[in-house]
Amino acid sequence: MKFKAIAAALAATVLTPFAQAQEQPEWALVIHGGAGVIERGRMTAEREAEYRAAMHAALDRGEAVLEAGGSALDAIEAVIHGMEDDPLFNAGRGAVFTAAGKNELDASIMDGASLNAGAVAGVTQVRHPISLARAVMDRSRHVMLQGEGAETFAIEQGLEMVPPAWFFTERRWQSMERALDRLGIAAPDRPEDAPEAEGVDHGTLEQDDREHRFGTVGVVALDSDGNIAAGTSTGGTTAKRWGRVGDSPILGAGTYASNQSCGVSATGTGEYFIRLTVASRICALVEFQGLSLQEAADQVIQDELTAMGGDGGIVALTPSGDVAWSFNTPGMYRARQSAGGEPAVGIYGDED
């Protein structure tokens, strides 16, 4: 309830508008690394520096692809690969644990030029779920695969497979134990192949409690051919149960891209994003009602999502290069850059 009160109080004040592009840039990129109760004074200077460096590195990976004339889809894979390997983020190696003590990973990707898309849910041994989502899009006749079938397909396609212990981090394991204790649920046994237990700073676990009840990474990119694409990858919610799947692999909810409107990647409490079809709803407001990208994003996030009691945020981009983000939480890891422009990275709600 305290989190909801904070989100509601800040809903009207965490807007982050910035000027729309005056001329279409050759390429553009906008990234998020998850939203939550991310507050000044609650994060150490060292941890803040780590997140800012990680977001700048993500921009650098995307810029390298787009500046060389690569596709928006390639840029998304490059950006998310690094974030899936970075324990700072709730995706890939930094994924949170389910109540059963597993890392279950979801991802999706969408091509705005063709509306082709691919998604995967509940995979446990694929190092880069975003690449598996793209393989589903490019090399299968389906849109979404899940669980063991998705991993069988990954093996057939020659994607990199890793043992579940690859994704294990002490920080996320202890956060799961704390979450289960609050729920009155017994914690699972520590995996036999997990690294030896080590101490985790209490402040880090407190931050995780506030910040990573949910978490996701996502990218929207515009390439030099004028095409938009969007991609999202996540470990889901801490201590999730019963094979829960959130919005990240659901096209139209957590990810959407169309050259006729915009691309969106979302992060938040997925149950609300699914019910509101947040990503496609924003694009529909741009395409069919003529709202600016920022107006559409704010209407859905600040008004509609908040009214439902949902929390989280989005990053978005149009084929003309307009960039927007909007979130109703105290903070969201986010970054943007366009060809010829300076990179911008934000964490807290009072940063542009």
Give the residue numbers annotated as catalytic, written as ranges.
216
In sequence order, which residues have a C-beta less than 8 Å from that of residue 250 and are 6 or more positions away? 108, 119, 270, 273, 274
The residue among 60, 76, 35 whose CA lies nearest residue 231 is 76
Angle at 280 (CA atoms; ends 279, 283), nearest 5 degrees = 95
Rounded to whole angstroms, how far apart are CA atoms 323 and 228?
12
Beta bridge partners of 327: 313
Two tokens, residue 330 = 């105290």
**How many C-beta atoms surround the C-beta of residue 198 within 10 A?**
8
327 vs 322: CA distance, rounded Å? 17
- 231: closest CA among 214, 246, 242, 216? 216
Q: Do residues 107 and 234 lie in contact, with contact meaning Cβ atoms separated by under 8 Å?
A: yes
Separation between Cα atoms, residue 225 and residue 75, nearest integer Å: 13
Angle at 216 between CA 348 and CA 57, to 5 degrees: 70
Distance CA 186, CA 232 (A): 31
**CB burial string 17-30: b at 16+ within 10 A, e below:** eeeebeebbbbbbb
